[in-house]
Amino acid sequence: MRKTRVSIADFDPEIFLKETGLGRTIVELKKNQVLFTQGDAADSVFYVQKGSVKLTVISPQGKEATLSLLDAGNFVGEQCVASAERIRVVSATALVRSTLLRIDKAEMLRVLQQEHAFAGVFVSFLLARNARIQEDLVDHLFNSSEKRLARILLLLAHFGKDNEPETVIPKMSQEVLAEMIGTTRSRVNFFMNRFRKLGFIDYNGVIQVHSSLLNVVLHE
């Protein structure tokens, strides 16, 4: 008698990152609410389902710097499994109302070891993050503050994913942009006004980026 094979559903990383379960809980954050603070125990990884999170670091002298902005589809606090980090070396704060999935470190390690599909997703994220860090370093070393601002605006607008310009995070302060590109707020204000006059952006509380802003990045 011929045996019938029992079909077993494959592990789906997308479903895992959407639903609660063992070691997984949903975290809802209001605008400007802190997710974790520099020096906290690094005991979990977060996945941004909706919204956006800002990563900052404070120097021993008390100076704060913005490292990056992470929107939906990004992991936050992944260093606790990627580099065995025991305490947070950065702080994470919601820029807007955000929804994140909190994954306990033990559960994250288990899934990475047992589910190759999820490990592939996570490794791809780490490689993309590493490439972005290298690009940011080159940008800071060799490009002017004007070109750095143009590049960060294009990145925040996800330029290249769609034909239409996208709205950057609403009401992003010029202080945050200045911290990200390593310049002063007055310089950011000068360049933003210049970009607007040239038709590269629309700027009225929210920022809409047009493809013409690429001219600033590509111009030598």
24-29 and 98-104 strand pairing? antiparallel
Average pLDDT over residues 4-10: 46
**What would be the CATH architecture of the domain defined by 13-139?**
Sandwich (2.60)
d(CA 82, CA 160): 29
Long-range CB pairs of 107-113, under 8 A, 24+ apart, other chains included: 107/22, 107/23, 107/24, 108/23, 108/44, 108/45, 108/81, 109/81, 110/23, 111/16, 112/81
Average pLDDT over residues 24-40: 96
Answer yes or no: is pLDDT of 207 > 60: yes
Answer yes or no: is pLDDT of 69 > 70: yes
Alpha helices in 38-172 (DSSP H): 79-82, 105-114, 116-142, 145-156
And the tokens for 66?
């913005």
Answer yes or no: is pLDDT of 6 > 70: no
And the tokens for 159?
């330029």
- On whether the pTM is more than 0.85, the answer is no
- Name the fold adopted by 143-218: Arc Repressor Mutant, subunit A (1.10.10)
Q: Which of 89, 86, 80, 69 is nearest to 122 (CA)?
A: 80
- Each residue's pLDDT tens digit, 81-135: 988 889 999 999 998 899 999 999 999 999 999 999 999 999 999 999 889 888 8
Does residue 76 sit in helix, strand or coil? strand
Residues 165, 210 contacting (CB under 8 angstroms): yes
Does residue 15 sit in helix, strand or coil? helix
102-121 burial string, b = 16+ CB within 10 Å, else e? bbebebbeebbeebeebeeb
Mean pLDDT estimate for the chain: 87
pLDDT of residue 45: 97
Confidence of residue 4 (pLDDT cuts 50, 70, 90): very low
Q: How many helices (H) and strands (E) does the chain have?
A: 8, 10
d(CA 46, CA 73): 10
Q: Taking the domains of the chain in order of start, what are their residue ranges?
A: 13-139, 143-218
Confidence of residue 2 (pLDDT cuts 50, 70, 90): very low
